[in-house]
Copies of this chain bind each other. A is one copy, B any other.
Amino acid sequence: MKLQQNTVRLDPWDLRILSEIQANGRISKSELANRVHLSASACSERLRTLQSAGIIEGFYARLSPALTGSVIFVMVEVVLDRHHLQDQRHFETAIQDVPEVLDCWAIGGRVDYLMRVAAPSMVAYQDFMDRLLQTGLRIDQYYSLVVTKSVKANSPIPVSALAEQ
């Protein structure tokens, strides 16, 4: 892996590491080294570099969507009332500190943002949105799409898509 003026060049070894660790985040470094055919130390070093370069943002456990059945997910489409840059920045910054918002994507077109929200119940969800509307985020409209089933969750990004053209 080479770092050159903020641009990262990922070589085939890096891609193999990413691909592996993306699907199997807690294997030991020695096992990872075996799978990508590197020594433990070299592999460990690359892993550290990939992390500090921000290519690997972090590691997490995925919990069962069912869990104890006590969590519901709602996809929320959000339209802001103005599209000023500072309003977007404000919204995007504020949303970071709202734990109920698990994901948020900016989207061109019909709506401005799509968010995935977790709540203990429908009542709690509605409560949450009511509160969110009063926080000066300039939300004009929102549409709630209740998730009835998590069909597929956070599958790894295919390595082919990671490779440089």
Contacts and interface: CB of A to CB of B under 8 A. Distances in A.
Interface of A: 8, 10, 18, 21-26, 54-64, 67-68, 70-71, 73, 75, 92, 95-96, 99-111, 113-115, 118-120, 145-158, 160-165
Contact of A100 (B100, B146, B158, B164): B158
Contacts of A162: 63, 67-68, 70-71
B103 A26 contact: no
Given A18-B63, A62-B56, A105 B161 contact: no
A70 B120 CA distance: 37
B63 A95 contact: no
A146 B56 contact: no
A162 B61 CA distance: 14
B58 A150 contact: no
12 contacts: A56-B62, A57-B63, A63-B157, A68-B162, A68-B164, A95-B152, A101-B155, A103-B155, A104-B150, A105-B151, A107-B145, A118-B157
**Could you say how many copies of this chain the assembly holds?**
2
A56 B62 CA distance: 6
A61 B18 contact: yes
A41 to B, nearest CB: 18
A61 B24 CA distance: 8
Given A68-B164, A104-B152, A114-B145, 9 more contacts: A25-B61, A56-B62, A57-B64, A60-B156, A70-B162, A70-B164, A100-B158, A102-B157, A106-B150
